[in-house]
Amino acid sequence: MVRTRFAPSPTGFVHIGSLRTALFSFLFARHENGKHVLRIEDTDQNRYVEGAVENLLKVMNNLGVEFDEGYFLQPDGNMMERGEKGPYLQSKRLDKYQAAAKKLVQEQKAYYCFCSSERLEELRKEQAALKRPAMYDKHCKKLTTQEVEQKLLEFSESGKKPVVRFAIPESGATVVNDLVHGEITYEHKVLDDQVILKSDGFPTYHLAVVVDDHEMEITHVIRGDEWLPSTPKHILIYKALGWEPTLYAHLPLILNPDKSKLSKRQGDVAVEDFLSKGYLKEALINFVAFLGWNPKSEKELFSLTELIQDFDLKKINKSGAVFDTNKLDWYNSHYIRQMNLSELTNKLLPYWLKYWEERQIQFDKTALPHEYFERIAEIERERLKKLSEIGERTAYFFVRPNYEPNLLIWKKSDSQKTKEVLNNLIEFFEKLDSASFTKIILEERLKNFISENNYDNGTVLWPLRTSLTGLEKSPGPYEVISLLAFGLGKQEISERIKAAIERL
RNA sequence: GGCGCUAUCGUCUAAUGGUUAGGACAAGUGGUUUUCAUCCACUAAAUCGGAGUUCGAUUCUCCGUAGCGCUACCA
- For chain A, the domains span 3-88+254-322, 93-251, 339-395, 405-503
Give the three-class secondary structure for A466: helix
DSSP letter string, A108-158: TSEEEE---HHHHHHHHHHHHHTT-------GGGG--HHHHHHHHHHHHHT
- Residue A264 confidence (pLDDT): 87
Segment A177-182 mean pLDDT: 94
The CA distance from A142 to A296, in Å, is 54
Weakest-pLDDT range from A80-84, A243-247, A276-280, A421-425: A421-425
- Residue A164 confidence (pLDDT): 96
What integer best gives the mean pLDDT of chain A? 91
Same fold, A3-88+254-322 and A405-503: no
Binned at pLDDT 50, 70 and 90, residue A415 comes out as confident
Predicted confidence (pLDDT) at residue A390 exceeds the cutoff of 90: yes
Rg of chain A taking only CA atoms, in angstroms: 32
- Distances in whole angstroms, Cα of residue A350 to Cα of each of A92, A328, A347, A355, A373: 40, 22, 7, 9, 12
- What CATH number belongs to A93-251? 3.40.50.620
Number of H helices, E strands in chain A: 19, 13
Predicted confidence (pLDDT) at residue A185 exceeds the cutoff of 90: yes
The CA distance from A271 to A141, in Å, is 45
DSSP letter string, A227-264: GGGGHHHHHHHHHHTT----EEEEEPPEE-TTSSBP-G
Q: Nearest nucleotide (C1') to the CA of residue A206?
A: B75
Closest to A19 in 3D by CA, of A55, A47, A68, A69 = A55
Binned at pLDDT 50, 70 and 90, residue A48 comes out as confident
Binned at pLDDT 50, 70 and 90, residue A108 comes out as very high
Rounded, the Å distance between the CA of A54 and C1' of B13 is 36
Q: What is the ipTM of this complex?
A: 0.94
- Residue A83 confidence (pLDDT): 93
Rounded, the Å distance between the CA of A103 and C1' of B18 is 61
Segment A298-311 mean pLDDT: 95
- Distances in whole angstroms, Cα of residue A225 to Cα of each of A178, A179, A292: 11, 12, 11
- Residue A443 confidence (pLDDT): 83
Q: Nearest nucleotide (C1') to the CA of residue A298?
A: B23
Phi, psi (rounded to 5 degrees) for A387: -60, -30
CATH topology of domain A405-503: Arc Repressor Mutant, subunit A (1.10.10)
Predicted confidence (pLDDT) at residue A436 exceeds the cutoff of 80: no
- Residue A336 confidence (pLDDT): 96
Residues 6+ positions from A425 with CB-CB distance below 8 Å? A449, A460, A464, A497
Catalytic residues of A: 264
Predicted confidence (pLDDT) at residue A464 exceeds the cutoff of 90: no
The listed range with the strongest mean pLDDT (A1-5, A10-14, A405-409) is: A1-5
- Residue A17 confidence (pLDDT): 96
- What CATH number belongs to A339-395? 1.10.8.70
- Residue A333 confidence (pLDDT): 96
Rounded, the Å distance between the CA of A395 and C1' of B35 is 18
The CA distance from A368 to A330, in Å, is 32
Rounded, the Å distance between the CA of A264 and C1' of B67 is 20
The CA distance from A361 to A158, in Å, is 66
Strand B nucleotides within a 7 Å radius of protein CB atoms: 1-8, 10-15, 22-26, 33-38, 67-75
Of residues A426 and A434, more confidently modeled:
A426
Q: Nearest nucleotide (C1') to the CA of residue A163?
A: B73
Q: Tens digits of per-residue pLDDT, A205-219? A: 999 999 999 999 999
The percentage of chain A sitting over the pLDDT mark of 70, rounded to a whole number, equals 100
- Residue A349 confidence (pLDDT): 93
- What CATH number belongs to A3-88+254-322? 3.40.50.620
Q: Are A24 and A17 in contact (CB under 8 A)?
A: no
Segment A407-423 mean pLDDT: 84
- Residue A360 confidence (pLDDT): 82
Binned at pLDDT 50, 70 and 90, residue A113 comes out as very high
Rounded, the Å distance between the CA of A193 and C1' of B60 is 38
The percentage of chain A sitting over the pLDDT mark of 90, rounded to a whole number, equals 60
- Residue A481 confidence (pLDDT): 81
Residues 6+ positions from A203 with CB-CB distance below 8 Å? A43, A90, A94, A97, A98, A101, A196, A197, A211
Binned at pLDDT 50, 70 and 90, residue A321 comes out as very high
Q: Which residue places its CA closest to the C1' of nucleotide B15?
A: A296
Q: Are A22 and A6 in contact (CB under 8 A)?
A: yes
The CA distance from A274 to A259, in Å, is 21
Q: Which residue places its CA closest to the C1' of nucleotide B23?
A: A298
DSSP letter string, A33-77: T-EEEE-B----GGG--TTHHHHHHHHHHHHT---SBEEEE-TTS
Q: Nearest nucleotide (C1') to the CA of residue A287?
A: B12
Weakest-pLDDT range from A76-85, A348-357, A387-396, A401-410: A401-410
Predicted confidence (pLDDT) at residue A132 exceeds the cutoff of 90: no
- Residue A77 confidence (pLDDT): 83
